[in-house]
Structure 1
Amino acid sequence: MTIAPVARQRRHTLHFLREIRPIVPVFLDTEVDATAVLAHRRAARAAGEQYSIVSYLLYAAARALAAHPEANAAVRGRLRPKVARYETVNGKLTLDRAIDGQRIVLSAVFPHLQRTSLDDVQRRVNHLRDGDAARLPEFAPARLLHRLPPLLGGALFRLGVRPLRRRAAAFGTFAVTSLGHRPVDGFYSVGGTTITLGAGRIVDRPVVRDGELVVAPTMRLSLTFDHRVIDGAEAADVLAAIKDGLERFTEGTRHERRGRAEEVRRGARAGAADSPLP
C-alpha cells in the first residue's frame, strides 16, 4: 500500500464537491428514442459535418429551460434563503481531459444557449475537446486552483461561485455530463446546478410504436434536480420537454440551411426582377 497527497490537478474537484454539499438531490430518468437525432447525424456526416450527442443535449435542454424559468434558477442561504432566476440559459459541460498526464474532469460554461445554434454549440465542444487543456483559457481558473495552496484555493473558489449574481457564469444554470462513449446505460450526477443531465450510451432496444414491437436506438437520460429550488412535477416537465426536443429534433444541417438560404435569395432576386419599376 502507498499513501500520497491527492494530485494537485484534482484540487478544483475537491473544492467543487465541498461547495455542493447543501444541494438536496432527487433523481429522475427516462428513455429517449434517438432515431431523429441519429438521422440528423447521418445527414450531417454525409455533408461533411460532425455533431456530438452532447451538443444535441445542450441544444435541447437550453430550450427546455428557457420554457421553464422556475428551473433556470439557483438558491443560496440557510436561515434566509434567496432564489435567483436567470434570464439567460447557461449550460455547463463536463469533459474527460488530462493535464500533465493526470486524468481529470474539467468543465466549461456555454452562455446564452437558449439562442445558440447547434453549429455554434458544436464548434465550442470541438474547441474544448480538441484544444490543449493546459493552455485553453476556459480552464485557466481550474489551473490556478491547482497551483494555489488548498486553503487559499478553497477560499477563492467560494468567493467566485457563492454569490448568486456570479453563479450562472461560474456554474451555469444547468449541467450536462455523458458516459455514453462507454458501456454505461445510466448514471446520476450532481453538477452544482438546479438541473443536471446525465446521458448514457445509445443502443438498440425493443420499443412499442403504434401497438407494434419494433427495435429503435434509445438512450437513458437522467435528471438530477435540487429539491430546494423546484419540486418533482416541475423537474418531470423539464425532463419531458428535453425528451420531446430530442425525439422531434428537426434543425437542418448546415448544408441544408445554406441551401434554403440560397433558395430564399434566389426567390428575392426573382421577385425583384418581376416587380414593376417605380
Structure 2
Amino acid sequence: MSIEVKVPQLPESVADATLVAWHKSPGDAVSRDENLADLETDKVVLEVPAPADGVLKEIRISDGTTVTAGEILAILEEGGQAAAKADTAEAPAAADDEPEEDADESAAEPGKASGRLSPSVRRLVEEHGLDPAAIPGSGRDGRISKADVMSFLEQRDKGGKPAPAAKPSPAPAAPAAPSGAREERRVPMTRMRSRIAERLVDAQATAAMLTSFNEVDLGAVMEIRKRYRDSFEKKHGVKLGFMSFFVKAAIEALRKFPVVNASVEGGDIIYHDYYDIGVAVSTDRGLLVPVLRDADLMGFADIERAIGDFAGRAREGKIGVDELTGGTFTITNGGVFGSLMSTPIINPPQSAILGMHKIQDRPMVVNGEIKIRPMMYIALTYDHRIIDGREAVQTLVSIKESLEDPARLLIQL
C-alpha cells in the first residue's frame, strides 16, 4: 500500500518552508515517526515524520525546494522491504548498463554527494571549503558522517592526501611572491538567517535607537552563587546561573519604568502589564529569542530550567514558533563569547533590549580603597521615540542596584 508523505501543517503566519535535507533515500527502510526530512521556515526547523513503517519508494521534492502545507514530498510503500541502491530507479546511482567506473564517478559528483549530507556535515564541509566527493564515507550507502570529515581534515593537516586543488594557472613571466589560497565560496542564506537580517534592518530603519551604558559589580551575586551552588542544584536539579539574577533585576526595573516594557503600534504606545522576557540564544542557524512567559511569576530555578531547555531545543531546531513570538523585553548575553561591550539591536516590536557582557576583574575604588572587583558593562538600547534618556539611565541604575545588592530583589526595592 502506497502512502503519500506530505508537508505537515505549518505554524500560523508561516506561508511556506524550504526543504533543507533528506535523511533517507529511495529504497531505505523507515520506521513510523522516524524523521525523513528537515523543513526550514523563517523561524524554526520542522521535521517530516514517517507516517508508517515501510520503504521510501519515491522522493518527489528535492533539497532546496520551497514547499507549502499539504504538498506531497515522497511516496512510502507501507510494509515493504528495503531494496538495494543499484536496483532502485530513484536512487542516485548509475544505470546497470553503465561501466562500474562511470557509476562510481556519478555517485561522487559534488552535487549528488552534497545532497546526501546531513545539515551538520554540510555546514562543516562548507566551512572548510571541502569537496564532498573527495571524502570517503563510512556510513550506509557511502554516506559521509561528521567523523569522516574530521578524519579527512586531520589527515590533510598531517600531510596526508590533500583535498582536490584548483587547476594550476600559467606561470607568470616574472617571479611572483608566494600567496595563500584565494578561493571563494558562495553560499545562499538560510531562510532563518535571511529573516533575521530583514528584521534587524527594519529595526534600524523604523526605531530611533540609542544605547546607554553602565557597569555592575557582580561580587555579591558571585558570592551567593558560590555559597548556595551545591544546595541549589541538589534541590532543583539545575545550576544557579547569572541569567536568573538579570531577569529578576530587569523585571524590577520594568515595574518602575513601564514605558521600557511597552511597544509602539502606529501612533499608539502599548503598555504591557505583564513581563514576557525574551532570552537570546545563539545557534548554528542564527539567533533565536525564545520567551519566558510571565517571568515575574517564576522563581530562580524556574528561570534557569526554562533557559536551559530553550537553549538545548533551539540548537536542535525544536523550538516552536509560539515560543518565539511576543515578548515585551529582551536580554542578550554577549559575554559568553568574550564581548566586553556592545550596542545590541532592539527586537521589534519591543522598545528596549539589555546587553550583558564579559565579567572582568578591574581595579575599583571602594570606600576610599582600591580593590579588584568582578565588573561587567551592561548596555540598554532603547527606542528614543517613546523612551527618554532619563528613563533609560534610571532603568540601568535600577538593574545595577539590584545586582550589587541582591537583597533588593527579595523586598522589591
- TM bracket (short chain): 0.7 to 0.9
- 2:277 is aligned, of 88, 91, 95, to 91
Structure 1 residue 188, shift from structure 2 partner: 1.0
Report deviation, 1:206: 0.8
1:34 counterpart (211, 214, 218): 218
2:300 paired with 1:118:
yes
2: CA distance, partners of 1:58 / 1:108: 14
- Would you say 1:194 and 2:376 are equivalent positions? no
Correspondence for 1:76: 265
Are the structure 2 counterparts of residues 206 and 222 from structure 1 closer, same or farther at C-alpha, using a change threshold of 3 Å?
same
**Structure 2: runs of 5+ lacking an equivalent:** 1-183, 234-238
Which residue identity is paired with 2:242?
I
Deviation at 1:9, TM superposition (A): 3.5
Question: TM-score if structure 2 supplies the norm length?
Answer: 0.50
Q: Which residue of 2 aligns with 1:51?
A: 240
- What is the Cα deviation at residue 129 of structure 1? 1.7
8 Å Cα contact 2:200/2:345 also seen in 1 = no
Distance 2:289 2:400 in 1: 24
Q: Partner amino acid for 1:66?
A: R
- Secondary structure of the 2:374 match is strand
Moved more, 105-114 or 218-227: 105-114
Aligned residue for 1:128, secondary structure, equals: helix
State how 1:79-228 maps to structure 2 within 5 Å: 81-98=267-284, 103-131=285-313, 133-138=315-320, 140=321, 170-192=325-347, 193-228=350-385
Structure 1: unaligned runs, 5 residues or longer? 143-168, 253-278
Deviation string, structure 1 residues 90-144 (Cα, Å, up to 9, x no partner)? 111110123xxxx421111112122321111111111112236445343x469xx
Judge conservation of contact 1:66–1:89 (CA < 8 Å) in 2.
no
Q: Which amino acid aligns with 2:356?
A: A
Whether the 8 Å CA contact 1:176–1:197 is kept in 2: the answer is yes
Residue identity over aligned pairs, in percent, reads 27
Q: Where do 4+ consecutive residues of structure 1 move more than 4 Å?
A: none
Q: Contact 1:206–1:214 at 8 Å: present in 2 too? A: yes
| CA–CA distance in structure 2, aligned partners of residues 84 and 48 of structure 1 | 38
Amino acid at match of 1:180: G
Q: Which residue of 2 aligns with 1:275?
A: none
Structure having greater relative contact order (Cα 8 Å, sep ≥ 6): 1
User: What amino acid maps onto 1:182 in structure 2?
Assistant: F
Partner of 1:13: 196
Q: Greater helix percent: which structure? A: 1
For 1:116 and 1:7, the matched residues in 2 are separated by 35
Q: 1:59 touches 1:116 (CA, 8 Å); kept in 2? A: no
1:61 to partner: Cα distance: 0.3
**C-alpha offsets along residues 148-178 of structure 1, whole Å, 9 cap, x if unaligned?**
xxxxxxxxxxxxxxxxxxxxx8342111111
> Partner letter of residue 75 of structure 1?
V
Q: What residue in structure 2 maps to residue 246 of structure 1? A: 403
TM-score scaled by structure 1? 0.72
Distance 1:141 1:251 in 2: 33
Per-residue displacement from partner, 1:201-254 (whole Å, max 9, x unpaired)?
1111111111111111111101111101110001111111011111111389xx
Aligned positions of 1:255-270 closer than 5 A: none
